[in-house]
């Protein structure tokens, strides 16, 4: 009988090379009851290995659609996405998504939810799988809560579980769709610090969607500003600040103001929602 080679915990936790992404001329139209919506209009973008790129823009400008296309959850009408030179045609465990609403299983405890992501790893023993899951729970600061029920957790803790679950299969790319949008300011601030630390420790390529300009400036190497109808990349900002970055720093506020000004220039009424 065919047997998988067993992999040790140490091997499993080794860093994997982060992917390089090529988004080439991607367009996507949705047909709705009220007509056609050009969600993405010939969007092109290169993301380097281990780069942290933030996509920012008012709601409806195609951010989620682009993320879903990179994830392989949605297909473009034209153009393509390349991950390390290979065309993306379906979801894969090299590119995992973390959503705004934590899509956790309420019938599993915290550890069970993280273990779920490791089901696809047949070459780990059950014991090792638990140890891998525990490593990621520690990384997100939830060691003490491994047996907690999901409904007992705060919103911030649920997002930490989601993050651990997305990290556990050791993807090369992490796609994050407004993961902190529903959280209060203080909880978000803690997570900004933690996500920067985790990104450094695990070396992932991250594409992070947000409508919060300051959040984008805090996290991104680059911030890409999208404009709606049709969804296009309007402008690109390189954020040249040392890390870890403090969301409240004056330098960061300077970048946020610059990006906000650009956002207001094509969407004055919507910019108010993006602070």
Ligand X SMILES: Nc1ncnc2c1ncn2[C@@H]1O[C@H](COP(=O)(O)OP(=O)(O)O)[C@@H](O)[C@H]1O
Asked whether position 65 contacts Mg ion by CB under 5 A, the answer is no
Longest dimension (CA), the chain: 65
CA atoms within 13 A of residue 226's CA, in its CB half-sphere: 34
Residues 130 and 115 sit within 8 Å (Cβ to Cβ):
yes
Among 32, 34, 90, 126, binds ligand X (CB under 6 A): 32
Cβ neighbours around 66 below 10 Å, total? 28
Instruction: Report the alpha-carbon distance of residue 169 to residue 94 in Å, rounded.
Output: 8
| Residue 60 interacting partner from ligand X, Mg ion, none (CB closer than 5 to 8 Å by kind) | ligand X
Nearer CB in complex with ligand X: 136/208? 208
Identify which range of 62-70, 87-95, 101-109, 122-130 contacts Mg ion by CB under 5 A: 62-70
Q: Which is nearer to ligand X, 19 or 210 (CB)?
A: 210
| Residue 34 in the binding site for ligand X (CB under 6 A) | no
Q: Which two tokens stand for residue 207?
A: 């594409």
Of the candidate residues 9, 60, 130, 230, the single one contacting ligand X (CB under 6 A): 60
Q: Considering the complex, state which of residue 140 and residue 225 has its C-beta at the smaller distance from Mg ion.
A: 225
Task: Identify the residue whose tokens are 């919507």.
Answer: 270
Q: How far is CA 111 from CA 22, 150, 162, 252, in A?
A: 35, 10, 11, 36
Token pair in block for residue 66: 């682009």
Binding mask 192-231 for ligand X (x = CB under 6 A): ---------------------------------------x
User: Considering only 17-25, 59-67, 112-120, 137-145, which stretch makes contact with ligand X by CB under 6 A?
Assistant: 59-67
Q: How far is the CB of 63 from ligand X (least distance, A)?
A: 3
Interface with ligand X, residue 37, by CB under 6 A: yes
Angle between helices 185-202 and 126-139 (to 10 degrees): 130
Query: Which residue ranges make up the site for Mg ion (CB under 5 A)?
Result: 64
């Amino acid at each position: 009988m065919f047997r998988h080679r067993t992999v040790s915990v140490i091997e499993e936790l080794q860093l994997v090379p982060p992917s390089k992404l090529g988004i080439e001329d991607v367009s996507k139209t949705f047909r709705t009851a009220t007509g056609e919506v050009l969600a993405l209009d010939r969007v092109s973008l290169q993301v380097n290995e281990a780069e942290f790129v933030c996509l920012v823009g008012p709601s409806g400008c195609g951010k989620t659609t682009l993320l879903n296309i990179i994830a392989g959850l949605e297909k473009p009408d034209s153009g393509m996405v390349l991950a390390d030179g290979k065309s993306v045609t379906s979801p894969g465990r090299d590119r995992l998504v973390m959503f705004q609403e934590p899509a956790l299983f309420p019938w599993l405890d915290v550890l069970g939810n993280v273990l779920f992501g490791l089901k696809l790893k047949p070459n780990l023993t059950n014991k090792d799988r638990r140890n891998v899951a525990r490593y990621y729970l520690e990384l997100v600061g939830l060691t003490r809560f491994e047996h907690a029920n999901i409904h007992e957790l705060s919103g911030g803790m649920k997002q930490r579980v989601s993050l651990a679950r997305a990290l556990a299969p050791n993807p090369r790319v992490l796609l994050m769709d407004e993961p902190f949008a529903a959280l209060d300011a203080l909880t978000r601030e803690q997570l900004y610090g933690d996500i920067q630390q985790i990104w450094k420790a695990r070396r992932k390529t991250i594409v992070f969607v947000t409508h919060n300009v300051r959040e984008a400036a805090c996290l991104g190497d680059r911030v890409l500003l999208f404009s709606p109808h049709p969804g296009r990349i309007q402008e690109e900002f390189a954020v040249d600040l040392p890390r870890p970055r403090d969301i409240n720093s004056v330098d960061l506020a300077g970048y946020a103001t610059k990006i906000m000004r650009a956002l207001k220039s094509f969407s004055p009424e919507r910019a108010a929602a993006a602070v």
